[in-house]
Structure 1
Amino acid sequence: MTKPTGYEPLHVLKPVDRDIWIVDGPSVKFYGLPFPTRMVVVRLAGGGLWLHSPVQPDAKILYALAELGAIQHLIAPNWLHFTYLTAWKHLFPKAQTWVAPGVVSRAGKKDQPLHVDHHLKSEAPPDWADEIDQMIFAGSRVHREAVFFHRASRTLILTDLIENFESGKMPAWSAPLLKCAGVKDPDGKAPIDLRWTFRKNRAQARASAEALLAWHPERVIMAHGRWYEQGGEAELRRAFRWALG
């Protein structure tokens, strides 16, 4: 039986704006903490579906997605978010898999099978360039996350560059750890260990953070915790103050 995450109902399409939804998935254990998971679904102009950080597949969400359109693209946005990519590719063999830098190496170290069709770069491919901007957030040799901006809805799509855990939806004992890591709502940001990996290349991190701000997002969605339904640009300035200086 799936343990509560605080973001129920799970495996359900939740509208963000026209042609963009989130799907909250089950929690996964990381550093001993239950991390709630979240997928973003975009319906492209041609009707195909673009799935960012796919959550554990479930019959309920598979049926709902079938009502929306054909799944065309499966996105593994960083080296920590590829776990279910192979399962989705098995279910939808015609879908194209796209992986961020570091994913292949990480999968190899974990001896986890991974089918890769394409590698994500700092420019969006023709498949979605007319609708979604993208870049690789620079400055870390370890964490090279692909970030996306859905232009029509002005929604920035991140994964771990901001984590924003709500105390009421996490174990009580975790509150001091979350605060120490810098990922406790309402002041969520990249966790301290991730920020540390940017220490030698702060200029690159700053340039990347400024590029995110230049998109002027109204919303910011991330994989873990409360996402920002409005005031996205202000939340970015707050969360990336460690990079902006």
Structure 2
Amino acid sequence: MATYGLCWKSSFFPSAGTSLEPLSCRRSFLARRTVVTASVAKDADAIGKPKRFYWNVTGFPFPLGPFLQRKTVRKEVIKDSIWTFEQEQGLGFSSISTNVRMTVIKLKSGGLWVHAPIAPTSECLQLLKELQKPIEYIVLPTFAYEHKVYVGPFSRNFPRAQVWVTPGQWSWPLNLPLEFFGIFSSRTLRDDGSVPWGSEIDYKILSSPEVGIGPYVEVAFFHKKSRTLLMTDAVIYVPERPPEVVSREALLASARNGLAVKLLSKGKEVLDEPVIDNDRNRQKGWERMVLQILFLGPSNLLEPEYSFSQVSKRLIVSPIVKTLVFSKVPEKVRDWIDFITGSWKFRQIIPAHFAAPIRAGPRELRAAFSFIDELLEEEDDDVLSSLRLGFSRLWKNAGSIFSSEDMKTLSSLDEFLVSLRVVKKTVSSKLR
């Protein structure tokens, strides 16, 4: 999940499971069927048809779960203006999961603008239908597989809506066209900002072809009326408690002392204790999930409380995105953040994973990216760079400094990928 233990595979293997992608034809059938069931959602329960059914078995090397059932939770962020729709998204055949979010904004025309579509289950479509507004635009804000895979099935339910995608779309191990993902007649976002909704929603593209085997592409959007910044995977805010859509079964499975816990226990004895369904164990499961998503192999899964406290309840850049992506192209990331924080006076941020909305403005976002200025400190010695670095230090976000022990696995992975020339070398050793 491009928030990123789950996101790492999406960043570098975004069309994962391409050998199974012909199933998009089957998903097309399912998508067409959900249009019918959505219009008779109340009757669907009576005849035993699941409103949350969605069959998804694609994803290389790990498919995205859940495989058959996806609960959708709708929240109204701003009355009659902005809504979020969340579903669970997990790493297949594991207990690791979090939430994935679609954001819907009402335009002045009365139509809806959809950011990062999710699985079009009957329940999801019914919740959209209840807004009683037509969908005019569907936007894919990234290249990442976990967001791209739903655009085709989702858009087929709204044939009159325009589909807009980021530039630089690619897939691995085969670089396949968007049509292979069921995305037809799409339009590409350009740097000139020429889009039909431009008077209401501005955007800025971050495109870095030089990151590794493929470019990292993400687009930030700014809804002017509500002063809301939309991002996909660039920043996150880990909530203390698990999102509503993360299943009880996944949380309890993560709370069990399995192989991963035994390997990452700092040499302490790990007992095979039964896991009772209570708040304490659900919380433990959530903390372990988060650490594995962000660090892949944190220093201690047996006692996750301390490491979890260092990454939760604050605006941060995910360690895996920071290490494998942003540290490779700090100049481009700094320019992107400079534009966002200098041009848009936002007061809240809605990312595609974890908590939202986040009460934060330009100052907090710049603090989360303070590591960029540190990476470039040795290269830049002009007055502007010195002022920028001083500002970053003044408002430094402690959440951007991660434990070196927690970072060991990620740093080793980075070195391995650099040796294979899958990703670029980090510009500075200060990241570690």
> Are 1:70 and 2:134 matched, yes or no?
yes
Structure 2 CA distance for partners of 1:205 and 1:9, relative to 1, 3 Å: same
Amino acid across the alignment from 1:57: P
Q: Comparing 125-134 with 234-243, which one deviates more in the overlay? A: 234-243
1:58 to partner: Cα distance:
2.8
1:234 to partner: Cα distance:
3.5
Amino acid across the alignment from 1:194: V
1:48 to partner: Cα distance:
1.4
Report the counterpart of residue 190 of structure 1 in structure 2: 317
Residue pair 1:28, 1:37 contacting (<8 A) in 2 also = no
Report the counterpart of residue 225 of structure 1 in structure 2: 354
Amino acid across the alignment from 2:327: R
Report the counterpart of residue 57 of structure 1 in structure 2: 120
Q: Normalising to structure 2: TM-score of the pair?
A: 0.50
1:90 to partner: Cα distance:
1.2
1:130 to partner: Cα distance:
0.5
Give aligned pairs, total.
Answer: 242
Identical amino acids, percent of aligned pairs: 24
Residue pair 2:118, 2:154 contacting (<8 A) in 1 also = no
1:188 to partner: Cα distance:
4.5
Within 5 Å, give how 1:106-125 maps onto structure 2: 108=176, 112-125=181-194
Q: Secondary structure at the match of 1:114?
A: coil
Within 5 Å, give how 1:79-118 maps onto structure 2: 79-80=143-144, 81-105=147-171, 108=176, 112-118=181-187
1:103 to partner: Cα distance:
3.0
Choose between structure 1 and 2 for higher RCO, CA contacts under 8 A separated by at least 6 residues. 2
1:225 to partner: Cα distance:
0.5
Structure 2 CA distance for partners of 1:91 and 1:189, relative to 1, 3 Å: same
Gaps of 5+ in 2: 1-49, 53-64, 243-250, 255-284, 297-307, 375-432
Amino acid across the alignment from 2:128: L
Report the counterpart of residue 103 of structure 2 in structure 1: 40
Residue pair 2:294, 2:318 contacting (<8 A) in 1 also = no
Structure 2 CA distance for partners of 1:241 and 1:16, relative to 1, 3 Å: farther
Larger Rg: 2
Gaps of 5+ in 1: none
Q: Secondary structure at the match of 1:39?
A: strand
Structure 2 CA distance for partners of 1:199 and 1:168, relative to 1, 3 Å: same
1:10 to partner: Cα distance:
2.8
Distance across 2 between alignment mates of 1:240 and 1:228: 19
> More helix per residue: 1 or 2?
2
1:233 to partner: Cα distance:
2.6
1:59 to partner: Cα distance:
2.7
> Are 1:12 and 2:80 matched, yes or no?
no
Q: Comparing 213-222 with 108-117, which one deviates more in the overlay? A: 108-117
Q: Comparing 131-140 with 227-236, which one deviates more in the overlay? A: 227-236
